[in-house]
Structure 1
Amino acid sequence: MALRSTIMDNNSFRAEHAADLDPQTRRLTERRDDVLGGSYRLFYRRPVHLVRGEGQYLWDAEGQKYLDMYNNVASIGHAHPAVAQAVNAQMLRLNTHTRYLHERILDYTDDLLATLPEYLDAGDFKAMYMCTGSEANDLALRVAKAHTGGTGLIATTEAYHGNSELSSLVSPALGSGQPIGEHVWLLPAPDRYRTGVAEIGSWFAEKVRAAIADMESKGVKFAGFIADSIFSSDGVLPGSYLKEAVDVVHSSGGVFIADEVQPGFARTGDQFWGFAAHAVTPDMITTGKPMGNGIPVSGLFAKADVLASFSDTVPYFNTFGGNPVSMAAAQAVLEVIRQEGLQEHARDLGAAALTRFTQLGETHQSVGDVRGAGLFIGFELVKDRATKEPDRGLALNLLEELRQRGVLTSVAGPHGNVLKLRPPLPFTHTDIDWASEALDASLKALS
């Protein structure tokens, strides 16, 4: 039997929970079993039947209100009217593929590339569009291999980069039922808390250097390193420590793929792009979910010479990638981030939330570490602060207690013991109160 996936199975409904469900919820879970493939998962031992969302809030079929502390799909808020209006207006005019001329895809590309950090030249990058982050990472891996002539890839031991065939090969978080690529080297994540290493950047760079040397000793040519810059699935590891490792990648002839599906689009507050916190130069940037706020759209933004190695040889066409409706949604998201000051909001509210959750953690011995950047916070549960032994059982029970108090989130990390607190960006001080009071009450109930 395959080991459970840390991102799919930790906080999931299973057959043994069915007896505790109310009749309506049980009927819905049974219908899913009848008509949907078995790979799907539901959150919670008692699944939530959602029917409406607005901003950072959700309502279930019985009218109960929830605080969404997990969703980076509706990053600027559930059912944002600006996105709905943009999509509706464009759908009433035209929606087709990219083999006809249309201004929207060009205007959006110019606008998005203008958000790159000042130390990068936006003119060095070209864009390609898809529908999902998985597709974007899949294409980035193809480009990396074409540009370098290599096949060797580096990822971290709990990374998640997608569910296409190529992207799943560098996604160990999917569980042991998903094979890792033959030429994929997995490294431990740069986790200061668990390693106790202060100079985590040098520590991680040495791991990268050793992996490349091991590849070469086995006759495998190095192609590249893929990472999301906050190491979301590895347990939420913010900081500014990747530059030395990326320098090793470049000096070894490889490319760096910055997977910005989770840390990008103003999420981490200080920067629009997560990788900018590390002052690194990616060869390719991929994005997805938050880009369209619920409309499927994703992108690959690559250095022109890197992309040319692939695109000058191989035609690429994605029927729905870059269509006018998706571009309208993506443009609306960018405009809302600017007009509502959501990057600055994520910085300020994130700092306030981190302070509050850290103070809360100090009063509960089961909290080992609280860390974050902007509105992306990891809340780690342990059995013993001295040994740092992870407490997965407590983390999973805590999720259920929070759900009862109207707060929805999930877990991350190799041990499934880190609460991943990642609300939609319109989060407020009142929401910090709600979340912290629910955390406090839930921890007390479980102590």
Structure 2
Amino acid sequence: MEMYTKAETLELRRKHIGPSCKVFFPKDPIKIVRAQGQYMFDENGEKYLDCVNNVAHVGHCHPDVIKAAVKQMELLNTNSRFLHDSLVQYAKRLTATLPEQLSVCYFVNSGSEANDLALRLARQYSGHQDVITLDHAYHGHVTSLIDISPYKFNQLGKDSKKEFVHVAPSPDTYRGKYREDHPDPGSAYADDVTKIIEEAHKNGRKIAAFIAESMQSCGGQVIPPAGYFQKVAESVHKAGGVFIADEVQVGFGRVAKCFWGFQLQGEDFVPDIVTMGKPIGNGHPMSCVVTTREIAEAFGASGLEYFNTFGGNPVSCAIGLAVLDIIEKEDLQGHASRVGNYLVQLLNEQKEKHPLVGDVRGVGLFVGVDLVKDRQKRTPATAEAQHIIYKLKEQRILLSADGPYRNILKFKPPMCFSMEDAKHVVNQIDEILTDLEEVTTSNIGNGLPTSTHCKRKTPTDGSNHESNSHINRNRCRQENGFCTEGHKVPCKRIRT
């Protein structure tokens, strides 16, 4: 039973919640009151298929997670500085999924907190300050992470990048600097990182860490080319720095072939620090940093005690153990492989059918669809992506668009997402694309303009012009008439 109507909830939110805290679908936000599995339900009982909620990793309100949480909460929850078996049991189980060198855990409460701690570990161990990050990267919302997240700091203006931050090109082989026709894009992108290190050294700066999501999410569902991480790690280690793999959005079996995204690069690559969050607790606020004994001992040698009141508390560890049990018991990695392969197959069929689909890329249940106006030029179809998101919402399907140009449809559903769900979503996308193309064809025949993108310059050099998007957003308008008066294509961002 809800205390307030939707209108009342919105009014109270405007009154008491910070104005920068945005909602999905701002023109008509959804009020979700319960969820189960891959479905969410609004205050009217309408069921929505959740295609983006990678937080509810094993499914919303999984009964085994609820049972584990309630059972432990009825018994004890306390400060992590008391001895408790669940902490060491969970650390043992978690590190068993990782390469042997990664054996020491620090439990915290969010992905942002994990990445912030990872930076502290790297700087203490290396004795250096500077960080190399990827263009369009997002690593968290605290100050230290906004500093190393171009996805965020570019919105603040051209002078927002700190002197200790170095930005390497995103290893995007579809839209980036080195593409699929390059003989060795992994080495080419890694060479750019080496050049950044060399230039930093010339300027008297030293690298503490290279940090990257194992697969870029907000950057556009980017899967790094083979060999890239190995070569980057080699250069970073020579410079005295460490490699941080951010698994906050893609870990815990989502990529199907492996338990962790970085393992897709091969057994010969092992990061020095791994951060994890979101799926770790299936919606419960917990996260973790795992590193080597050597780095952990260097961190401890500073003489500064580290503790975290709630990180690794008994309830969090009970939930974490339940999530690991469910992934194994329900074979969610195998399920992600079967359903993910089927989803990519269906989307590739749409690529053959619809010119707007430029690229389909995915591993397991991490899938992106790059929408384009022109396949040869790979011009981003930003407005079309937003149109699709809103039309899907009308069909009770929740999907999101992201990437530097907001033109990537991104799939990161709960791992219980089914083949039937995949078929349903793609069928709806097919219908929306067909309608878009019919109107475009009609407008061409009538001599009307066909451009549907926001009226701003589209970068062609792979550079990040995210910083200008909030300025130009209000200048967006539709030109080809595929929107009805009652449903205009919004240019507001939809984030997950």
TM-score (norm 1): 0.91
- Residue identity opposite 2:261 in structure 1: G
Q: Is the 2:254–2:364 contact (alpha carbons within 8 Å) kept by the matching residues of 1?
A: yes
2:164 to 180, 183, 199: 183
Residue in 1 aligned with 2:255? 268
2:235 equivalent to 1:245: no
Residue in 1 aligned with 2:414? 424
> C-alpha offsets along residues 112-155 of structure 1, whole Å, 9 cap, x if unaligned?
11111xxx315x52000000000000000011111111111111
Tell me how far 1:29 sits from its aligned partner.
Answer: 2.6
Structure 2 gaps of 5+ residues are 438-496
Larger Rg: 2
2:11 equivalent to 1:37: no
Tell me how far 1:312 sits from its aligned partner.
Answer: 2.5
2:191 to 200, 203, 206: 206
Over 3 Å counting, the alpha-carbon distance change for 1:181 and 1:105 in structure 2 is farther
Q: Is the 2:49–2:397 contact (alpha carbons within 8 Å) kept by the matching residues of 1?
A: yes
> C-alpha offsets along residues 350-409 of structure 1, whole Å, 9 cap, x if unaligned?
111111111112211111101001001001111111100111111111100111111102
Residue in 2 aligned with 1:303? 292
Query: Matched residues in 2 for 1:267 and 1:83: separation?
Result: 18
- 5 Å matches for 1:30-69? 30-44=11-25, 45-69=27-51
> C-alpha offsets along residues 318-348 of structure 1, whole Å, 9 cap, x if unaligned?
1110000001110000000000000111112
- Residue identity opposite 1:215 in structure 2: A
1:139 to 96, 117, 128: 117
- Structure 1's consecutive aligned runs of 4 or more residues displaced over 6 angstroms after TM superposition are none
Over 3 Å counting, the alpha-carbon distance change for 1:182 and 1:323 in structure 2 is same
- Residue identity opposite 1:300 in structure 2: V
Tell me how far 1:177 sits from its aligned partner.
Answer: 4.5
2:70 equivalent to 1:88: yes
- Residue identity opposite 1:35 in structure 2: H
Residue in 1 aligned with 2:91? 109
Q: Is the 2:206–2:239 contact (alpha carbons within 8 Å) kept by the matching residues of 1?
A: no
Query: Matched residues in 2 for 1:26 and 1:393: separation?
Result: 28
Over 3 Å counting, the alpha-carbon distance change for 1:446 and 1:26 in structure 2 is farther
2:179 equivalent to 1:217: no
Residue in 2 aligned with 1:15? none
Over 3 Å counting, the alpha-carbon distance change for 1:201 and 1:301 in structure 2 is same
Query: Matched residues in 1 for 2:163 and 2:87: separation?
Result: 37
Over 3 Å counting, the alpha-carbon distance change for 1:251 and 1:231 in structure 2 is same
With 313-322 and 189-198 compared, the bigger mean Cα shift is at 189-198
- 5 Å matches for 1:192-203? 192-195=173-176, 196-197=179-180, 198=182, 199-203=184-188
> C-alpha offsets along residues 11-62 of structure 1, whole Å, 9 cap, x if unaligned?
xxxxxxxxxxxx9544433321111011201111321111111111111111
1:373 to 339, 363, 386: 363
- Residue identity opposite 2:93 in structure 1: D
Q: What SS does the aligned partner of 1:426 have?
A: coil
Query: Matched residues in 2 for 1:213 and 1:175: separation?
Result: 24
1:350 to 317, 336, 340: 340
Tell me how far 1:66 sits from its aligned partner.
Answer: 1.0
Query: Matched residues in 1 for 2:256 and 2:64: separation?
Result: 22
- Residue identity opposite 2:406 in structure 1: G
Query: Matched residues in 2 for 1:126 and 1:221: separation?
Result: 26
Query: Matched residues in 2 for 1:248 and 1:309: separation?
Result: 21
Query: Matched residues in 2 for 1:350 and 1:287: separation?
Result: 22
Tell me how far 1:418 sits from its aligned partner.
Answer: 0.4
Q: Is the 2:146–2:153 contact (alpha carbons within 8 Å) kept by the matching residues of 1?
A: no
Query: Matched residues in 1 for 2:161 and 2:84: separation?
Result: 40
Residue in 1 aligned with 2:452? none
Query: Matched residues in 1 for 2:274 and 2:242: separation?
Result: 11
Tell me how far 1:160 sits from its aligned partner.
Answer: 0.7
Query: Matched residues in 2 for 1:59 and 1:349: separation?
Result: 23
> C-alpha offsets along residues 196-249 of structure 1, whole Å, 9 cap, x if unaligned?
253221111111101111111111111110011111121112253422222222
- Residue identity opposite 2:127 in structure 1: G
Residue in 1 aligned with 2:142? 164
> C-alpha offsets along residues 261-310 of structure 1, whole Å, 9 cap, x if unaligned?
11110011000010000122100000011000011000000111112211
Root-mean-square deviation over aligned CA pairs: 1.5
1:438 to 419, 428, 441: 428
- Residue identity opposite 2:59 in structure 1: G
Tell me how far 1:63 sits from its aligned partner.
Answer: 1.5
Q: What SS does the aligned partner of 1:85 have?
A: helix
Q: What SS does the aligned partner of 1:296 have?
A: coil
Query: Matched residues in 1 for 2:408 and 2:155: separation?
Result: 23
- Residue identity opposite 1:169 in structure 2: D
Tell me how far 1:182 sits from its aligned partner.
Answer: 2.5
Residue in 2 aligned with 1:7? none
Residue in 1 aligned with 2:392? 402
